[in-house]
Chain A
């Protein structure tokens, strides 16, 4: 049986194909204003890798910020649910999942079945998400992909005093002019994010094993900063940005093989229309 999961994120769209409960293929494409087109592209690329056509898919679940824009999926689920299932499938001992994406940060506590026990979201403040890192990389005139490894060379424990992504740029410029090294500044930036992550974890509670997922998990400096912040090992899967799509695909497999499994009924219409006064 072929099932699929699609994660329509703010910056990238991810697709995962399963053959029963084994990963068959995956793809990542850039997000676009047209979520349906981007979703189709991601799905088609994954199908091409697997050598399959769309008709082969028994059940498709979509998640991510853009899930409501996609009409061709059988089911829609939140990233929270999908992250938990995907994380536990990859790491059966995972009980705390941190997903730092481009524009959101989620902390999730789950059980051994991938069922969510508690969750906290931060989508109000950009200084805890990927776009903050992008703007900091720009301010330091380095490639965002270099941030992680470079920060691991830090010798000094600098502190960022501002908590705002907008004002942080001027603070970084000021640190540069003060002669502080790039690696030390990067370490401070990572620590400022993880201190906010730690506050969120204080609300969900932390239980081992801790797994970090989402695109920002590729930043080794962020993972290291988080480990130091919480005093625990932090594990990162091979393709951390795919965990949401994987979780969606696993939900799809569960539903396709067990019709008694029901999730949140599809939201009727667009959010604004549903609760318009």
Chain B
């Protein structure tokens, strides 16, 4: 028993699509398209309506982190250039690649334009500016408003930002906006998000139908390419496969006895760490980072989603409607209280037995507030929790023996607490 992953029929398509994303860069450049470095939250819905080749900085950071020993060299190159080791590891991957000229795709893919956005985190503003300044190339920052309770004027503000982005793309490409393409691109992206929500929902099944390790490979489809018909087709195929597994009661961890929520970023260079939990009967059934690419955490719109299946976007019929839908997606309630609520919701709705936080070194956006989040969740749910300190993209910050020591103790704790709650009706404190 243990971890015996069931082969996915969509796996080949997934690999092909991921490779395609990388190959687009050289193919697109050869075809005269402009290459744009940008954050994943720089509305891919709008970007894909233009004839450009987007490179997601986070995507690049993730594949660079998986680049065996070379990924340490990339960090070192960034540090040699004067960047702190405490800086976001994704940023160090792309900056290190830029300074050394090499990376997981071969040469560093030079940008023709760069777009940063505050929607991911504040680091992205200066990270992308550093790339733009080196060449130098046109650079735009999308100023996503941060508010725990966004109002109409926040939405209007971001709408103006998105129109500025469209104007920027027109200027750098020398083309006019194809409104129909934007509408189609946005619609496809939102349909992909709906399918992603369904996939997240299917993870509630017992056993969980898919290992989180496998699911991470589908992230480029939802994060970077959701606006493409190919990505929508892939995600739909995956959803159907998983639905079939749920019907058959099949899952990658055959003797699943513990269900965990993983909060925070993946360990891109050590996804195999997930296997350790699987070998010990534990599945990861939810992850806030994964769920966030769907719709369940959106808080702006006519219908605030309180349960799965609530339709919260309207099919656009015009450029204005399409851009408005995009604005509503990115202008969402942000702040510690939202984070706490989202985490508690995932833990309760997905019926987790425990929660593991990955405290990602160098990731201020995510690290800030995680202890408060953890404490609130413990008070609200009584669930056992574990904080693991590592990095999403710097393997030097991963100490295997220490992580295993903590994982062992945590899994014992989860089993003991669950047995105790069965015996006495509730967990004793």
Judged by a CB distance under 8 angstroms, whether A25 is at the interface is: no
CB within 8 A of B415: which of A117, A203, A263, A272?
A263
A275 touches B400 (CB 8 A): yes
Judged by a CB distance under 8 angstroms, whether B406 is at the interface is: yes
- Residues on the A chain within 8 Å of B413, using CB: 80-81, 115-116, 119
Closest to A108 in B: B409
- Residues on the B chain within 8 Å of A80, using CB: 409, 412-413
Count, A-B residue pairs, CB within 8 A: 80
With known contacts A116-B416, A264-B280, A277-B272, A124–B402 Cβ distance under 8 A: yes
Judged by a CB distance under 8 angstroms, whether A265 is at the interface is: yes
Judged by a CB distance under 8 angstroms, whether A22 is at the interface is: no
- Residues on the B chain within 8 Å of A272, using CB: 400
Cβ distance A74 to chain B, nearest Cβ, rounded Å: 16
Judged by a CB distance under 8 angstroms, whether A177 is at the interface is: no
Cβ distance B252 to chain A, nearest Cβ, rounded Å: 16
CB within 8 A of A264: which of B378, B400, B401, B411?
B411
- Residues on the A chain within 8 Å of B281, using CB: 265
**Could you show 23 A-B contacts with beta carbons less than 8 Å apart?**
A77-B412, A78-B405, A78-B408, A78-B409, A80-B409, A80-B412, A81-B413, A111-B428, A113-B428, A115-B413, A117-B417, A119-B409, A119-B413, A121-B402, A121-B409, A123-B402, A261-B419, A264-B280, A264-B408, A264-B411, A267-B279, A267-B280, A267-B408
Cβ distance A26 to chain B, nearest Cβ, rounded Å: 23
CB within 8 A of B416: which of A81, A268, A271, A275?
A81
- Residues on the B chain within 8 Å of A119, using CB: 409, 413
Interface residues on chain B, size class? 20 to 34
B412 touches A274 (CB 8 A): no
Where the two chains meet, the residues of A that have a C-beta atom closer than 8 Å to any C-beta of B are 77-81, 111-113, 115-119, 121, 123-124, 203, 261-265, 267-268, 271-272, 274-277
Judged by a CB distance under 8 angstroms, whether B215 is at the interface is: no
- Residues on the A chain within 8 Å of B276, using CB: 274-275
Cβ distance A268 to chain B, nearest Cβ, rounded Å: 6
Cβ distance B375 to chain A, nearest Cβ, rounded Å: 9
With known contacts A123-B402, A276-B272, A265–B412 Cβ distance under 8 A: no
B420 touches A203 (CB 8 A): no
- Residues on the A chain within 8 Å of B428, using CB: 111-113, 115
Closest to A111 in B: B428
Q: How far is the CA of A113 from the CA of B404 in the complex (A)?
A: 25
- Residues on the A chain within 8 Å of B280, using CB: 264-265, 267
With known contacts A263-B415, A267-B280, A81–B400 Cβ distance under 8 A: no
Q: How far is the CA of A276 from the CA of B429 in the complex (A)?
A: 38
Judged by a CB distance under 8 angstroms, whether B92 is at the interface is: no
* Chain B 388-402 interface residues, beta-carbon cutoff 8 Å to A: 399-402
- Residues on the B chain within 8 Å of A118, using CB: 378, 384-385
Q: How far is the CA of A116 from the CA of B420 in the complex (A)?
A: 11
B272 touches A275 (CB 8 A): yes
